[in-house]
Amino acid sequence: MTIHTGDKSADGENRTAEVLALEALGWALTDEKRAERLLSLTGLTPERLRHGIDDRGVQAAVLEFLANHEPDLIAAADALNTKPETLVAAARELNA
């Protein structure tokens, strides 16, 4: 599953950090090994994701997971039609 919002000029900078985090989570969960790694490295559980997805801490954890693994960060940014630095900035914003 690839989430595209249009041409690259519509970059993720126009989306809120919360929206980017939700889109990033959707992208991360499309690959079973990546999803398992997300849970393992963040300490999140499937239940916590389901019930805490509106929590800024959970959203930040998803984006930090991507920021800490450059290949995933770049792939997610491409799939979400944004820039890697936009995802990193969104993680910082959610942690503020």
Which residue's structure tokens are 């599953």? Answer: 1
Backbone angles phi, psi at 44, to 5 degrees: -75, 155
Confidence check: pLDDT of 3 > 60 = no
Three-state SS sequence of 62-80: HHHHHHCCHHHHHHHHHHC
pTM: 0.84
* pLDDT per residue as tens digits for the range 11-54: 556 899 999 999 999 999 999 999 999 999 999 999 999 999 99
Q: What is the pLDDT of residue 8?
A: 43
Categorize the per-residue pLDDT at 80 as very low, low, confident or very high, splitting at 50, 70 and 90. Answer: very high
CA–CA distance, 46 with 90 (Å, rounded to integer): 22
Q: What is the pLDDT of residue 11?
A: 53
